[in-house]
Amino acid sequence: MPLWKLAVRADFAAAHALRHYHGKCENTHGHNFTVEIVVEGRTLSQDTEILADFTDLKAALRQVMASLDHQDLNEHPAFLKHNPSSENLAAHIFRELFPLVLGKGVNLRQVSVSENASQTATYLEE
């Protein structure tokens, strides 16, 4: 049975401080975060033979990231009780994005958040 996966990426800039961390990251600092989402599905559209429109996926991702961009994540409602770590950011974005891609013929498979090119946190639900 065929399975296709699509990925789109977008960036946002934000500041955060990791509570209860012992080191430099407990101080407020900024990142240019990169977010990658992966969707999957088994059926291509009959007319254009695509799984989903990349433009629609990017628009949904940008909608979710709008409340995070150029913010102090420690003051964001989603992170008042939880650390704004890359792991928690990935989970938050997944949960916010899920209803936006539901009904588009794809399943949201995973969300990855990178603080830089060498470290990424990925969230998925099994």
Domain membership of residue 58 as a residue range? 4-123
What is the total count of domains within the chain?
Answer: 1
Q: What is the pLDDT of residues 62-116, one digit of tens each?
A: 999 999 999 999 999 999 999 999 999 999 999 999 999 988 889 999 999 999 9
pLDDT for residue 50: 96
| β-pair type (107-116, 71-72) | unpaired
pLDDT for residue 120: 97
Distances (CA, A) of 6 to 56, 100, 110: 12, 16, 11
Per-residue pLDDT for 126 more than 90? Answer: no
SS3 per-residue string spanning 11-63:
EEEEEECCCCCCCHHHCCEEEEEEEEEEEEECCCCCCCCCCCCHHHHHHHHHH
> Which secondary-structure segment (H or E) carries 123?
strand 119-123
**What percent of the chain is predicted at pLDDT more than 90?**
94
- Which CATH number belongs to the domain containing residue 55 in this structure? 3.30.479.10
Q: What is the pLDDT of residues 13-45, one digit of tens each?
A: 999 999 999 999 999 999 999 999 999 999 999
